[in-house]
A and B are shown apart, each in its own frame.
With several copies, the nearest count.
Chain A
Amino acid sequence: MPAEGATVIAIESDSDVVTARQRARELAAELELSSTDQTLLATAISEVARNITTYARRGEVSVSIVEDGRGRRGIRVVATDRGPGIEDIDRAMQDGYTTGGGLGLGLPGARRLVDEFAVDSEPGQGTTVTLVKWSRT
């Protein structure tokens, strides 16, 4: 559960993608995530937010601070859209798989950049990608 109110960034254009990753980085800096972890998180957000503009036209990214039961804090990012959804999630998670002429590194790459990663998608309904990066202190 979010420990604080989430910041929500509407994603409609490529400049929103930049805004989303910058907001998350700010929050990550507040939480004293290392500079490297901030960069990994921001890069992952860039990938999933771009997928929104590419495949669903519009959607949103929400960024919030979460806590696990043991006092550890982290950043949770939820990227949601009501676009076409993903037919075969396993396939979409393969390196190099793309239906959009991309590199096909967005989802599998983002997964490698964060601590927790989940994709929920229903064809015709939309897609939600959730990322969590924990503070290491």
Chain B
Amino acid sequence: MTVPILKQGPFLIATIQAALTDTDVLRLQEDVMQQVTRHRSRGIVVDVTALDVMDSFVSRSLRGIAMMTRLRGASTVIVGIQPEVAFAMVQLGMSFEDVQTALDLEEGLALLQARREPGDGAG
């Protein structure tokens, strides 16, 4: 199950479309890094609306994407975490404290756009 990654202006959008195996998740990490590098993207939205489970491996890997892309000067926003999934993540002990999240794709893109505005030099 490959995750399609689309370029939209200075940003990338990765839309997960079905349950991912661990192998798929690792591939997604690599693919995102490759595309970020190729397009010199400034921001990435990862849309997880289709995920009905985010276990510790997936959560950790998505946080990993946020960290890796930051090392290349790009921000990652995770969008579309389903309410039951968010509930389960918190019970599990995964808090995503250090990861940017937004309600949906639109809000995620707005967040990235806001980051690009002049006067904000933050990472």
- Chain A residues near B (Cβ < 8 Å): 13-15, 17-18, 21-22, 25, 35-36, 38-40, 42-43, 46-47, 50, 95, 102-103, 105-106, 108-110, 112-113
Contacts and interface: CB of A to CB of B under 8 A. Distances in A.
A15 B20 CA distance: 8
Query: A-B pairs with the 4 shortest C-beta distances?
Result: A109-B92, A39-B84, A46-B55, A14-B21
- Size range of the interface on B? 20 to 34
Given A40-B88, A105-B94, A109-B91, A17 B21 contact: yes
Nearest to B30: A36
Contacts of A18: 19-21
A59 B19 CA distance: 21
Contacts of A47: 55-56, 92
A24 B20 CA distance: 17
Given A14-B22, A15-B21, A18-B21, A109 B93 contact: yes
Contacts of A50: 22, 55, 57
A35 B84 CA distance: 7
Given A39-B87, A40-B87, A42-B52, A113 B57 contact: no
